[in-house]
Chain A
């Protein structure tokens, strides 16, 4: 199987999600990276270290802004040029739009929220949790190009130490694809890893009591080398930025460790974090729903436990 893997880059670095998809594709067959935008060829060369034998780069200025529609044109060109069997994407705001646009363009099947891929009897099979992760579905593709959108954090990048040959390619753009234009970009101040990339997330909900409660979580996250997440309730209340929202209407994350502090565990939040490796819940209400789907349930006052844990973590790492 020959798979193109769409690799997003930000601030000169390839994003971890795409590299995870690339490593998986390399384990199943031939993995080919695709990097788009000015400066792409330099960034694309790094895909070799994660299993790509080849990486295509298009440096067209039209691809300078992170807008999906011109990227559909570029990928459609490349699918035709390479005859790839599959195109893989790591879920993000941009990639989801590119994947669905490409599906419509190529009349190709798209499976989303995929957490793993395998090849059975020569056919690509995806694993996809559905209905709030109460069911695990094996999904397939009928024919044509197979498109998959991988759940954020589901696949880890594996360093193989290889080298990818970078090839520049040109594409034309559909008339409608270049009509939308980026007029302004505001970056939120983020210290430490983003929640999609972090191996450890410390998340807070209403049980924190006030916006100031997040300072305590930031300290614990910093000690652990992790990121801070938030529930929809506290984001809606303006306690913490939307970019950290975990849940149905926020990010879906799969860190190795998720520490939920003062989070009741509403379904809206659950669907965004239940893919985490180990879930530790700290809540003073022993009847909070989160205790039904965590690995370690701690009944107690987070204002006592969290600062103490931060100290202990610092001491153990010193």
Chain B
């Protein structure tokens, strides 16, 4: 079984994120790391490989330095990585990103494509559905438990109303939730071994993707203006002296929130 895991290199959680007012894009100059919920997808791929054999390939679109993040996932146990890195792809919206990833995934021809729950910088949590449509493959999202057998996958999807159990024949796309597993820490052996694992870097031309169909040129969405969020206004602090409950109710009634 060949499993491809789509992962993203994102600004580290400790970095104060800002949007560059010039380019209106996220400033990615600071410390970056592997998107935290992608670790669950890598972990799930490794477990499937351990049970069924096969190969785990990481697929990513990002700057050249994303190879550092990919190495972390290789240290967990993934076999190799494919990074599509091209200046023309910078600033891609959902469409451009889906186009590039779908092209890279077509080239790999994996039986199963996995995504994590959401990127910590873009927060869209929709990419898999666009990629699945481009690949013309069945897709299951928000998967909290996944079973794989000879020719199909079965996923337990978490929804607003409960759980749906959905099955799909392979090849398929699945997006896992962070409830699916606890990602392993790389072992020292894994970290040392990762340095010699194949890390391929591709340009758009290698995938036959036209530069004008991605990046800012290929985006169908635009950022018009940046502004501060609406202020929360004056804050009230109440130290409880036994009357806090009454004070809360008074405020709630005064503001007509009931």
Contact = CB atoms under 8 A, between A and B. Distances in A.
B248 A179 contact: no
Interface string A202-234: 000000000000000000000011000000000
A107 B221 CA distance: 11
B225 A243 contact: no
Nearest to A179: B138
Interface of B, helix, strand, loop or mixed by DSSP: mixed
B179 A242 contact: yes
B236 to A, nearest CB: 5
Contact of B168 (A129, A181, A300): A181
A123 to B, nearest CB: 9
B164 A184 contact: yes
Contacts of A183: 154, 165-167
Contact of A97 (B98, B121, B139, B239): B139
A104 to B, nearest CB: 4
Contacts, number: 276
Interface in A104-151: 104-105, 107-113, 125, 129-144, 149
Contacts of A306: 245
Interface stretch (A32-40, A47-55, A78-86, A287-295): A287-295
B164 A185 contact: yes
B224 A125 contact: yes
Contacts of A111: 221
A318 interface: no
B229 interface: yes
A133 B229 CA distance: 7
**Secondary structure dominating the interface of A:** mixed
A101 B240 contact: no
A280 B244 CA distance: 12
B23 interface: no
Contacts of B111: none
Interface string A264-296: 000100010000011110100000000101111
A187 to B, nearest CB: 4
Interface in A242-260: 242-243, 248-249, 251, 256-257
Contact of A105 (B121, B133, B141, B245): B133
B240 A301 contact: yes
A294 B236 CA distance: 9
23 contacts: A97-B128, A100-B129, A100-B130, A101-B129, A101-B130, A104-B95, A108-B95, A111-B221, A131-B19, A135-B228, A137-B19, A144-B220, A175-B136, A176-B136, A179-B169, A182-B166, A185-B165, A190-B161, A242-B179, A249-B117, A278-B255, A300-B239, A308-B246
